[in-house]
Amino acid sequence: MGYVAVRGGEAAIAEAIRSLDALRAGATEPGADPGDPLSVDAIRHQLRLLVDRVMGEGGLYDPQLAALAIKQAHGDPLEAAFILRAHRSNLPRLGESAAHSGSQLRLIRRVSSAFKEIPGGQRLGPSTDYLQRLFRLDLLDEDPEAFRAAARSFGSEVVAQAEDFPKVVEGLRVQGLLQEVGAPQPAVDITRAPVAFPIPRPARLAHLTRGETGGVLTMAYTTMRGYGYLHPTVAELRVGYLPVRLPHPLTGEPVEAGEVLVTECEIVATHRASCSATAAASATTRSRPSPWRCATAPCSRGMSAGRAIRPRIPNSSSAMSMASRRWASAATTSCRTT
Amino acid sequence: MSPASSLQRPASSCDRFGFLDDFAVREMRRGMLKALAIPGYQVPYASREMPIARGFGTGGMQLTLALAVPQDRLKVIDQGADDSVNAVNLRRFITASCPGLATTTRTAEATLIQTRHRVPERQLAPGQMMIYQVPYPDPLQIVEPSEAKRRRCHAHGDYARLWVKLYEDVVRFREVSISNRYPARVAGRYIIDPSPIPRWDLPKLHCSPVAHLFGAGREKKLYAVPPFTEVVPLAFDDIPFAVEGFRATDCSRHACATCGATDTFLDEIPQVGAPPRWLCNDQDRCAERQGYPDGA
Amino acid sequence: MITLDHPWTAAGQRQAFRLLFDAWARPGTIAELAEWSGGSRARLTVLAALCDSATTVHDAHALLDDGDLSRLGAQQTAADAAAFVLADATRAPDGLAPCRGELLTPERGATIVLDCQAVGEGPALRLSGPGVDGSAELRVLGVDPGWWQARAAWCAPPLGIDLILCDARRIACIPRSSVVEF
């Protein structure tokens, strides 16, 4: 059976729009008060992680438009990212930033599970990691005054400047345990460049960055627990605001055009040397080449600007080989600047 | 009707001693008994979803919650520390859901010790119990990705591929390269993954006076080493099992910079522009050696 | 409001299980369950702590009355399928064929709750194996010798059955991993 074109389109579409709007206003419960329409600002702040996710998957850093997309999509992140992507399609590409380094971050969170103590110390930040997932029944009927007071009484979420914190992986590099990561390759905008296999690393990263969060999580889990055996340790996870510098259109000098919230994660993992290097081992240890040598956990917050790893053949004195995954290039993300 | 009254008050941590419902607790009990009766065998269990994420120690936590009685004294450690965020978080939840349960940081006083990555340095005594949080329960995972096949290997005591993996290590690195989760044979039969404890801690499981219970919440398995049970690390006759040496380049043994101990597992603390410091990983042992200067 | 007494309270079962756990981890040691039994024999306290509608029970010698059975909630099945078998130790286990588990599922080997005349008195057994520091002596009174022959035939670790010996107040455990000598 083929795909049949359903007739009577005008009326059906008009009815679909009408029913969607009605449902958004609470039409399923006759007589019930659906409350006021959600303001875009309320979505932007109170559903901030959903906004981040939609911006990440939508490939556009614009919290207000992402909030609008969420409202319009009735909270379906896939649909909201769809709306954002479609909008992004028609934005002019005004320039391309150089690769940015995470050392410029204004940090709101910085943790490491590789070492108990790290130079500069750990900052848990706004994380649910150590919260107990029990209902907060006080939120059922929240006092608006207390709600607003919580925001007023808070100082700044920025706890530190990243340059005050030496990178954990740098310490490992100094000890010769980690290989230097090569120079960044030129950015590839996968929405503007044709796909040509083998696709370069920046393009792979861009695909992962825009990947649906659940899909990327599945891939990560498959690598860790399915046919993989990689249990990475978080050498360092940083969340913060990254100033984005673009070349000035006239002078070409980099100028700060705005900032984006990013998550940078560098992981270290014991992993098997390449299959060719361990031909003897492959008879007994399963060697299944995989395009992803490393888990790519979705970012807890903000945009993930890139993810990659560098495998390394172990040296003779150490059985550990390390892979570091590092944040690559902010250029994979378009920055809408005003 | 206000929104608050239209919702049944959800089971909060205080409603029931031990948070878990009676059916979950009984399932854990049955599983624990079989785990002890078949030392080292991974007993499957349902593993309820907890208010703490999987990977944060829910397997160990479920064992603790199923076993605890109000007169227990609980110690929770994470990498030898009682005050790490993870240990604090688990302890907060367990004590909130087990009214009356006392906590302690002193190994000697604890009846239940829930741990991630370490066995206390202090000799354990009857009346105590170790509960481990386990990320990977199966030692064969490093050589066989299919759980169905791994189960068959365990059933037939077929550990040949694990031995070959160890042999390959020896050929390539002149030693077994496993730093933690070192496989060990229990009571002459099953080989276990002892959880990511360092090699240093593995001998403490052998013929120990206490029961050691292992819970893998995400992988839904629990297993046990009963008291006075043989736990033998896999090793070759000519390349024996060895624990970490903590040797400096001149072959001297690093000592704890705080208490001076040379018989404990040490942490390396990187320093900016200076050689690393070495400190006892087991905080309580370090404090005990100093006579508990902070009155902890 | 209906109130429950031991052994049907969650708190009592928790205490009783902890005693059972310690006795099970150290075969041959005797645990006193009377405080949590509410006047019942220890066998009922043990079953109450372990059984519910998710488990199966075979009451070989009709030791449970209807009230106990309904409070336990466990499904009654044939001996070869039951997770728990309750039996009178003074009677020989003739014809009983409990589940021993299989190599892929040894945990399915049954737990046999054996009601004896006395635990801690009577002829001595010598136990060794996991949980026992060297060897341990256990005295039990009123166990038909057929049970020991049957246990020897059923147990080939990791397969086998695990025994909980109960009298009015006390229990002792002999898991399949124990070596029993007379």
pTM as predicted: 0.83
Give the span between the Cα atoms of A132 and A274, in whole angstroms: 41
- pLDDT for residue A338 is more than 70: no
Cβ neighbors of A297 (< 8 A, separation 6 or more) are A216, A217, A220, A265
The complex's ipTM works out to 0.98
Task: Please choose, from the candidates C156, C165, C56, the residue with its C-alpha nearest in 3D space to the C-alpha of residue C110.
Answer: C56
- Which tens digits make up the pLDDT trace of A237-282? 999 999 999 999 899 899 998 999 988 888 887 655 443 322 222 2
Please state, for a pLDDT cut of 90, what percent of chain A lies above it.
Answer: 31
In chain C, how long is the greatest CA-to-CA distance? 52
- Distance from CA of residue A75 to its chain's centroid? 19
Q: Which two tokens stand for residue B232?
A: 């033998």
Report pLDDT for A105: 87
The residue among B17, B19, B33 with the most chain C CBs within 10 A of its CB, best to mutate, is B33
DSSP conformation letters of A204-260? HHHHHHHS-HHHHHHHHHIIIIIS-----EEEEEEEEEEEEEEE-TTT--EEEEEEE
- List of domains in chain B: 5-140+176-233 (3.40.50.11310), 246-296 (no CATH)
Average pLDDT of the residues in A92-99: 84
- Give the distance, in angstroms, between the CA of residue A172 and the centroid of all CA atoms in the same chain: 25
Strands B112-116 and B211-216: unpaired
Whether the CB of B227 is below 8 Å from some CB of chain C: the reply is: yes
> The domain C6-181: what is its CATH number?
3.40.50.11310
- Using CA atoms, how far apart are residues B162 and B150, in angstroms rounded to an integer? 11
The separation between CA A231 and the C-alpha centre of its own chain, rounded to angstroms, equals 20
- Which of A130, A138, A140, A287 would you mutate first to test chain B, the one with the most B CBs within 10 A? A130
Chain B residues with CB under 8 Å of A134 CB are 10, 12-13, 51
Q: pLDDT value at position B236?
A: 93
Sheet holding C118-128, edge to edge: C135-141, C118-128, C179-181
Report the residue from B41, B228, B229 with minimal CB separation from C106. Answer: B41
Count of beta carbons in the 10 Å neighbourhood of residue B153: 20
B32, C21: Cβ pair inside 8 Å? yes
Q: Tell me the per-residue pLDDT of A318-327, one tens digit each, with 9 for 90 and over.
A: 222 222 222 2
Q: Where are the domains of chain C?
A: 6-181
The pLDDT confidence band at residue A297, using thresholds 50, 70 and 90, is very low
Two structure tokens written together for B218: 């995400």
Is the pLDDT assigned to residue A314 strictly greater than 90? no
Comparing CB atoms, the residue among A129, A226, A285 nearest residue B143 is A285
Unique residue bearing structure tokens 């014809």 = C95
User: Is the predicted pLDDT of residue A296 greater than 50, yes or no?
Assistant: no
Task: Check residue A227 and give its pLDDT.
Answer: 62
Output the pLDDT for position A1: 59
For residue B16, the surrounding DSSP H or E stretch is none
Residue A226's pLDDT band, with cuts at 50, 70 and 90, is: low
Q: What is the pLDDT of residue B15?
A: 60
Which residues of chain B register pLDDT less than 50? 1-14
Count of residues for chain C? 182
pLDDT at A132: 86
CA distance B53 to A212: 21
> Rounded to an integer, what distance in angstroms lies between the CA atom of residue A294 and that of residue A269?
9
Banded pLDDT at A329 (limits 50, 70, 90): very low
Q: What are the tokens at B35?
A: 């785990």
Residues in contact with A117: Cβ distance below 8 Å, sequence separation at least 6, in sequence order: B269
Give the DSSP per-residue string, C58-122. Answer: EETT--S-HHHHHHH-PEE--GGG-SEEEEETTS--TT------BTTBGGGSPEEEEE-SEEEEE
Q: Bigger pLDDT: B25 or A175? A: B25
A62, B1, B3, B133 from B11: Cα distances, Å: 40, 21, 17, 25
Residue numbers of B annotated as active site: 40, 256, 259, 280, 286
Residues A321 and A271: beta-carbon distance below 8 Å: yes
Where chain C has pLDDT below 70, the residues are 1
Residue whose token pair is 């005054």: A145
Hey, is the C-beta of B141 within 8 angstroms of any chain A C-beta?
yes
CB A322 within 8 A of CB A171: no
CB C170 within 8 A of CB C30: yes
Please tell me the predicted confidence (pLDDT) of residue B3.
42
Task: Identify the band that residue A313 occupies on the pLDDT scale cut at 50, 70 and 90.
Answer: very low
Q: Does A136 touch chain B (CB under 8 A)?
A: no
Q: What is the predicted pLDDT for the residue at C64?
A: 96
Does residue B228 or residue A164 have the better pLDDT? B228
Nearest Cβ partner for B226 among C15, C25, C55: C25
- Are B271 and A115 within 8 A, CB to CB? no
